[in-house]
Structure 1
């Protein structure tokens, strides 16, 4: 008869029993306790009991989930709570443990729990790369894009250039409304003045021009051969030669395709800056490019070249160049001391006036408009 007592009998697998000195040899139960589980498929919060055996096991009345320790990663959670996810589970699945001892026991088993967690050095690397990317975009905008625009401009077909100009007209009407000046005699005088300028400028009759009833003293050109004159500039003009010089300057921008070059440069620049700040669609670039055409803020070199073009046109017509400089000076006023001439993106008005005076010649050609035609042009918006 076997006299071995139940206490000395080993359970299958050699688990439970007592040693010779009477102490228990039953293995310690794995750590465990309550936790909160989110399956990542619904917003339901599940209370589970976890145990830390060969892997993390989560049990509830209607669920059983196990996660390998090697796949467990820490994610951000509230203070005093360990929140983890699992690489081999649903991407949104989360387990939250509030018991500090149980959390420490899990952390001890998950040797790669902080593998993807950002450290200070990791954050520094991200900031460094972000600053490098921003610096690269700035370098592109300031150095690369101007050269690229210079090379790309001659490659753009005239039909596409005209299409860009028509798109900008929509912005013009949105800004200034339907304020085209259409008094018949004034229109005839304006057409005569534009035709007189167009021929020595070497431009064909596809050039389209318009006077807008707005008090802003300005004129600007659009890609494809369209330019606008504002009533405000007519109001400040004393004779046709003043207006003709300004219009010849704008025809110079058209001849040199400065407005198209500006669109390529500014549109590309705003697109890159938009990407930097999250405008991935480039919608801001399109709006910026259209506004840039209207603002007509050309480079210093382009403005000087357009002035040279205007001077040449006025010389061919036998008309003086000084009136153009005097009109510009009258509109903008004295700018001496406001900014260094070398650093300005445009020639200063004083410098331009001095040049127009230096290049001035006595009138040798017929007046561009008669006194009656000049009066009609001044009243074109009435």
Structure 2
């Protein structure tokens, strides 16, 4: 029987994000050395090349689904992750690296110790919150860590699914991250975010739903609903909407809106580290049903989309074309959630049209990428692919 002092030498399959690009890449991970003194060695399975080496003393777990382990590293870029989803590999990691759990528990103990020191500040902050947090939401968000916002986003995503399931269903059309459609979405997000400082991993999913909408959740999740995809005729229209939603993620608009509309429950959750209970549930309903992004939010997201389009040389006016066309269909527009959160005003259209001279336009997506995306929910391929 191996003693606890013997070095560990195991390997398993996982996915890797380096923190600079949003895309996932398949990897092999070799765990070498003893728990507190070893390292996670990230290897490209295609050529055996070492991509990274993470000392086990520096790694920690990131909140994730119960059947998944997401590992981060102190000192690495904020979005750097090793993601373990295979059940057998998850069991191996838990057995081989018990220090992951100890580190998480130590962090929780430190957090609980801060509660006593934060009590007086909490009273004053709650008072300020009741008076004017909607006016101060941007500043509040600036002190919320991206890691905590990502936790909030995961909880919000679960509640979005529950809300839409109660209204007729919620289904991710293509859950395979390595499918052609999802690779096209990931590639587009990487290009939009090139040179942009953002701590979030943008994760785009196409969702089967009769609600024509596209939404950005706190922490980087974006949903493009199939009813809107059915109305989207060209890659440029699709790219314009996605770039706009990525702009909401980069500027943290969803978190700001959630702070502004949630009441004191979210603030208490922030101090106590609770993002799974009632502190978020009430705010989510308000955000989805009654609350619109502000004029400033929409103009900021439009500007982000326009600048991304100029850099990538595609025509962002497709976003305005899509909204104009859909608003002209009276029966459809009555149920169009996108229009309540994305009103197309004349100044927004002017902002989208205001561009500096650029070289000749290029397609926002290749024809193969566009076809793969439009087929994610099993629907027909719209016209307009180049």
TM-score normalised by structure 1 residue count: 0.52
Shift of 1:186: 2.4
Q: What are the ranges of 5 or more consecutive residues in structure 1 without an aligned counterpart?
A: 1-136, 273-282, 336-343
Residue-by-residue CA offset, 1:67-117 (whole Å, 9 max, x unaligned): xxxxxxxxxxxxxxxxxxxxxxxxxxxxxxxxxxxxxxxxxxxxxxxxxxx
Structure 2: distance between partners of 1:355 and 1:158: 29
Distance 1:351 1:167, change over 3 A: same
Change (3 A) 1:346 1:209: closer
For each residue in 1:180-207, what CA deviation from the matched residue of structure 2 results, as whole angstroms up to 9, or x when unmatched? 0117332233223222223254446722
Q: Return the alpha-carbon distance in structure 1 between the equivalents of residues 283 and 215 of structure 2.
A: 15
How many equivalent pairs are there? Answer: 226
Which residue number in structure 1 is paired with residue 376 of structure 2?
Answer: 380
Contact 2:182 2:373 in 1 (8 A): yes
**Distance in 2 separating the partners of 1:328 and 1:212:** 19
- Are the structure 2 counterparts of residues 225 and 352 from structure 1 closer, same or farther at C-alpha, using a change threshold of 3 Å? same
Q: Does 1:179 align with 2:171?
A: yes
Equivalent residue number for residue 218 of structure 2 = 223
* RMSD over equivalenced CA pairs, Å: 3.3
* 1:352 equivalent in structure 2: 348
Pair 1:247-2:239 in alignment: no
- Higher radius of gyration, 1 or 2: 1
Instruction: Specify the alignment match of 1:152 in structure 2.
Output: 140
CA deviations over 1:287-314 (Å, ceiling 9, x no partner): 2312245457211111111111111111
Task: Give, in whole Å, the separation in 1 of the partners of 2:342 and 2:205.
Answer: 25
Partner residue in 1 for 2:366? 370
The answer to whether the 8 A contact 1:319-1:363 is kept is: no
- Counting only pairs closer than 5 Å after superposition, residues 58-137 of structure 1 correspond to structure 2 as none
Q: What is the aligned partner in structure 1 of residue 56 from structure 2?
A: none
Instruction: Report whether the alignment pairs 1:310 with 2:302.
Output: no
Contact 2:186/2:203 (CA < 8 Å) preserved in 1?
no
Output one character per residue of 1:160-193: Cα deviation in whole Å (capped at 9) or x when no partner.
Answer: 1011101101111112344101173322332232
Question: C-alpha offsets along residues 222-268 of structure 1, whole Å, 9 cap, x if unaligned?
Answer: 11111111112211111111111111111111111111111111012
**Distance change in 2, residues 1:314/1:352 (3 Å):** same
Number of the residue aligned with 2:254: 259
Offset from partner CA, 1:328-375 (integer Å, 9 cap, x none): 21223399xxxxxxxx99754444334323438666353232223212
Q: Structure 2: where are the runs of 5+ without partners?
A: 1-125, 268-276, 331-339, 379-386
Alpha carbons 2:172, 2:205 under 8 Å: kept: yes
Q: Is the 8 A contact 1:179 1:212 kept in 2?
A: yes
